[in-house]
Each structure stands twice: as structure tokens, then as C-alpha cells.
């Protein structure tokens, strides 16, 4: 029997993979993909909670799914803007390694 | 929902999610990300959220991934050469991620509801597009329109950013 905890566990594992990607990788595009993984881990736990909270009519709680819809929309806009920033950065610096971009480093 | 499908698609999502951050070649990473998102969409469908699963495939596997591959092509990225890894930073990052997961695991273990199975639905089929749509255009009408403005702002921002010289 699959419980709510199993879904939360898988979602936490996916978030940890994304978090580790942000911390460990030095390629800015991979870091960006890891951000997407973390956003989707949050979506998975929201949908699991939505299915868990069944109301008196026997329907899932759709407020969480509307929230997931908004998260997906914002994530899509974020990807578009972020990738444009990366392209502008590459034009200026000819690199996408975060270790080579250290002008602001103390 | 059958346990087999849950574990199969979870394993698919997690293995390819790990492949995203392990691969050295950015194109392989991007394609692993697609497979990972398709597994996630299947998990949404095991939770009776068919609408969310479908827009997950459309938006991520369709639009976002094409954007990623397009940028990789535009920047002409190859598999990155091996660099010297800063072992302290690598170990520290791994430790932070593992401690974070340990904390999450403990919190989920203490949650009383986490051990309960999902309650059954009244109908075998849910019409979730209708329910989500009613909420979206009723309760959440103002956020919905603000999101539309946000996308417009993002579009204009991208156009301004991609101009050769800013004025």
C-alpha cells in the first residue's frame, strides 16, 4: 500500500538531487536544470497533499493543483529569462563556468 | 494506484534526475531531464492529477526542454573538460545535501498522516480539468491575470536581453 509518506520521500529525494546539483556542479546550465528539478519536487509533494486531502464529496483538494499550475507557469517564465541572461553572459565573458565569473568575489 | 507503477516511475524519475547532475555532456543532461519529467508526469497521473500531468509533459518536455537544447546548440557547448575538483567544496556541498535529506527524512517520519494510505475517491474517474478550471477562473481569477502580466514582462525582458547592444 502506497502511503503519503512514500510520495513525500520520493519528492524529498528529488529535491536533494537538485540541491546537490546546484551545490556541486560548476556549469551554469546544469545548475539551471537542477533548479527545475527542485521546483518539480515541490510540485510532486503539493499534488500528493492534494490527493490526500479528500473533501466530504470525495474529491481531491484542487487548490493545491491550481498552485502547481502557477508554479509551472512561473518556472517557464523563469527559464526563458534565465536562459536569455546566460546567453548575454556568454557573449560578454565567453564562459559558462561559475568559477570563471568571479568579478564580485571578495 | 498500484505500488508497481509508483516504484517504477519513481525509480525512473530519480535515476534520470541523478543522471542530469552526473553527466558531463550538457546535451545528455538535458535529455535525461526530459525522461525524468516524463516519469514525474506519470507520478502525477497515479495521483489522479491528469491535467497537471499533461501540462507537465507539454510545458517541460515540450517547451522548456527545447529551449534548453536550443541554448546548448547556440552556445556550442561540448562535454566539459575535466577540471581539478576542489575537494573541500565538493565534500562540503555533498555533506550539506545529505544533512538536508536526513532532516527531511526525520520530519516525514514524525508526520502522523504520512503512514496513512490515500483515502478513496467518490467517483472512479475525476474530471479534474473542470474542477481546476472552475477554481482558476473563479477563486484565483486575479492571480491568473497577474500571471499573464508576468509572462508578458518575461517576454519583453527576453527580447531586451537578446538585443546585441543595449540602449
pLDDT digits (tens, 9 = 90+) for B49-106: 999 999 999 998 888 999 999 998 888 777 666 677 778 888 999 999 999 999 999 9
Beta bridge partners of A97: A27
Domains, in order of start, for chain A? 4-100 (1.10.287.3510)
Over residues B145-165, the mean pLDDT reads 90
Q: Where do we find the cell 467518490?
A: B122
Confidence of residue B1 (pLDDT cuts 50, 70, 90): low
Q: Where do we find the cell 530519480?
A: B14
The answer to whether A37 and A3 have CB atoms below 8 angstroms apart is: no
**pTM (two decimals):** 0.91
Over residues A24-50, the mean pLDDT reads 93
Closest partner residue to A29 (CB to CB) among B63, B71, B123 is B71
The answer to whether B64 and A35 have CB atoms below 8 angstroms apart is: no
Of B56, B62, B53, B65, the C-alpha closest to B5 is B53
CA distances from A6 to A46, B35, B96, B132 (A): 13, 21, 23, 25
State whether residue B94 sits within 8 Å of chain A by CB.
Answer: yes
Residues 44-103 of A with CB under 8 A from B: 44, 47-48, 50-52, 54, 57-60, 62-63, 65-66, 68-70, 72-81, 83-88, 90, 96-97, 99
- Quick check: A21 and B147 CB within 8 A? no
CA distances from B14 to A2, A75, B22, B76 (A): 17, 20, 12, 28
B70, B100, B118, B150: best to mutate for the A interface, most A CBs within 10 A: B118
Chain A, nearest residue to B116 by Cα: A3
The answer to whether A93 and A101 have CB atoms below 8 angstroms apart is: yes
The answer to whether A26 and A97 have CB atoms below 8 angstroms apart is: yes
Give the Cα separation of A64 and B43 in Å (integer): 16
Q: Residue A33 — φ and ψ, nearest 5°?
A: -65, -35
Q: What is the largest CA-CA distance in chain A?
A: 59
Confidence of residue A100 (pLDDT cuts 50, 70, 90): confident
Amino acid at each position: 500500500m502506497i502511503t503519503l509518506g512514500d510520495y513525500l520521500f520520493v519528492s524529498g529525494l528529488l529535491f536533494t538531487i537538485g540541491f546537490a546539483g546546484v551545490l556541486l556542479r560548476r556549469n551554469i546550465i546544469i545548475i539551471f536544470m537542477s533548479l527545475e528539478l527542485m521546483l518539480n519536487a515541490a510540485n510532486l509533494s503539493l499534488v500528493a497533499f492534494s490527493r490526500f486531502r479528500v473533501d466530504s464529496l470525495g474529491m481531491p483538494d484542487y487548490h493545491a493543483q491550481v498552485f502547481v499550475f502557477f508554479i509551472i507557469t512561473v518556472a517557464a517564465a523563469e527559464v526563458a529569462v534565465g536562459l536569455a541572461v546566460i546567453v548575454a553572459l556568454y557573449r560578454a565573458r565567453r564562459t559558462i563556468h561559475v568559477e570563471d565569473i568571479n568579478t564580485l568575489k571578495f | 494506484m498500484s505500488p508497481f507503477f509508483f516504484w517504477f516511475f519513481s525509480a525512473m524519475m530519480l535515476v534520470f534526475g541523478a543522471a542530469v547532475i552526473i553527466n558531463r555532456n550538457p546535451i545528455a543532461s538535458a535529455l535525461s531531464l526530459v525522461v525524468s519529467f516524463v516519469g514525474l508526469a506519470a507520478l502525477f497521473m497515479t495521483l489522479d492529477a491528469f491535467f497537471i500531468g499533461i501540462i507537465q509533459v507539454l510545458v517541460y518536455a515540450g517547451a522548456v526542454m527545447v529551449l534548453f537544447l536550443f541554448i546548448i546548440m547556440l552556445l556550442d557547448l561540448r562535454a566539459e573538460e575535466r577540471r581539478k575538483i576542489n575537494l573541500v567544496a565538493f565534500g562540503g556541498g555533498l555533506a550539506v545535501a545529505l544533512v538536508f535529506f536526513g532532516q527531511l527524512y526525520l520530519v516525514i517520519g514524525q508526520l502522523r498522516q504520512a503512514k496513512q494510505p490515500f483515502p478513496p475517491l467518490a467517483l472512479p474517474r475525476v474530471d479534474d480539468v473542470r474542477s481546476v478550471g472552475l477554481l482558476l477562473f473563479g477563486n484565483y481569477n486575479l492571480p491568473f491575470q497577474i500571471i499573464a502580466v508576468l509572462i508578458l514582462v518575461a517576454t519583453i525582458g527576453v527580447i531586451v536581453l537578446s538585443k546585441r547592444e543595449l540602449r
